[in-house]
Amino acid sequence: MTSVITVPPSLDDHTFEQVVEQLASVPHDAKLLVDARHTRWASPYGLTALLTLGQTREERASFAVPEAEETASYWARTGFFTHAEEIYDLHGSVPKARGGESSVLLEITQVAKSEDVHEVVGRIQQKAQLILSKELNIDAKATVGFAMTLSEICQNIIEHAGRGGFVAVQTYTYRKRLANRRVVVIAVCDAGCGFRQSLESAPGFVRNDRWDDAAALEAAVIRGVSRFRDPGRGQGLAGVRRYIGRWDGKVSVRSGTAKIAIVPSWDDDVPLAEKLAPFPGSQVQVTIPERVSGGPRQ
């Protein structure tokens, strides 16, 4: 029997939880159909997370592509189907990707090794500078911090996931939350070992009663704890947090059964969500909003 997972009409980091909840009761080796026929919109997080979902299956899963021509065409331009056809058996009409998508800063890209990060950073720099300064009213100098942020998050996959993941960068408009302000969003998702297991592999690691996915996320994201004894480790995520703070952005990291977020005033997400349905690996989202005035926060 094939289990069917229904993808919500609008797929982002919040609604992806509905997908994970449906998945929780499906054995890893069960036949699976991911049904996105009625999905009309997906964020970079949603798209990259769908790809990692496929990677978690022991048996190759099926994927029903969106029926809405506009949606399927957009997903094609983000590079989704290029990767999806490697992971899923696709059902439905898969459009050919014709031309670039102007809102896509970085189409969905697989990250598995150090050279991939060079490629990602190299590809994004010029376009990011244009978007950050022209669309988001952010000083062009912030491009370097943006590229550093992207680089450090991608490296997390290589160093900790134990397998490749996906990254995508896109701009769009937050109509409700930010009253039509533009945002740039980085999504990096992998289906690897996740933060808890990564930290547990540290030499001399001792588990305590409170140790779980949430504790692991707090340790890694807030306190910069790394599985390596090297005192230089853990600076990447700390640097990401600093950059986010400077530009009033948001970062959220989901791993296992927990999600931690640095939440700016314009967002109403919770700082820490626990006891979520389990999902392998880690899923990171960084959101930088358009500046309404001047430079960074002091």
Partner 1 sequence: MMHIDLSSMLRQTLSCELYSNLVTRPTGAAVRTQIEALLADSRERSLTVIDFSHVGMIDFSCADEVVAKLLLHYVAAERADREAYFLFRGVTDDHWDAIETVLERHGLALVLETDDGARIVGMVNDGERIAWEKVYELGRAGAADLATALGSRPDDAARMLDTLHRRRLLMRLDDGYIAVGGLGEAHA
The residues binding partner 1 (CB under 8 A) are 114-115, 117-118, 121-122, 125, 141, 144-145, 147-148, 151-152, 155, 158-159, 231-233, 235-236, 238-239
Cβ 197 to partner 1 shortest distance, Å = 20
Strand partners, 264: none
Closer residue to partner 1, CB minimum distance, 102 or 126: 126
Q: Measured between alpha carbons, how far is 51 from 163 in angstroms, rounded to an integer?
A: 13
Q: What is the DSSP letter of 161?
A: I
- Looking at the Cβ atoms of 159 and 267, the one nearer to partner 1 is 159
Q: Which of 250, 256, 199, 253 is nearest to 228 (CA)?
A: 199
CA–CA gap between residue 110 and residue 83 (Å, rounded): 8
In the bound complex, what is the minimum distance in angstroms from residue 106's beta carbon to partner 1? Answer: 14
CB of 280 vs partner 1, minimal distance in Å: 24
Least Å distance, CB 105 to partner 1, is 16
How far apart, in whole angstroms, are the C-alpha atoms of residue 188 and residue 258? 16
> How far apart, in whole angstroms, are the C-alpha atoms of residue 262 and residue 297?
15
Return the SS3 of 204: coil
With respect to partner 1, which residue has the nearer C-beta, 181 or 246?
246
* CA-closest candidate to residue 102, choices 77, 121, 132: 77
Least distance in angstroms from the C-beta of 36 to partner 1: 33
Nearer to partner 1, 118 or 134 (CB): 118
What is the arrangement of strands in the sheet containing 104-111, beginning at the earlier edge strand?
A: 104-111, 165-174, 181-190, 279-289, 250-256, 258-262, 272-273
Nearer to partner 1, 92 or 122 (CB): 122
Whichever of 226 and 285 has its CB closer to partner 1, that residue is: 226
The CB-of-185 to partner 1 minimum distance in angstroms stands at 20
Closer CB to partner 1, 42 or 244, in the complex: 244
CB hemisphere CA count around 24 (13 angstroms) = 13
What would the DSSP string read from start to end of 50-83?
A: HHHHHHT-SSPPEEEPPSSHHHHHHHHHTTHHHH
Least separation in angstroms between CB 288 and partner 1: 16
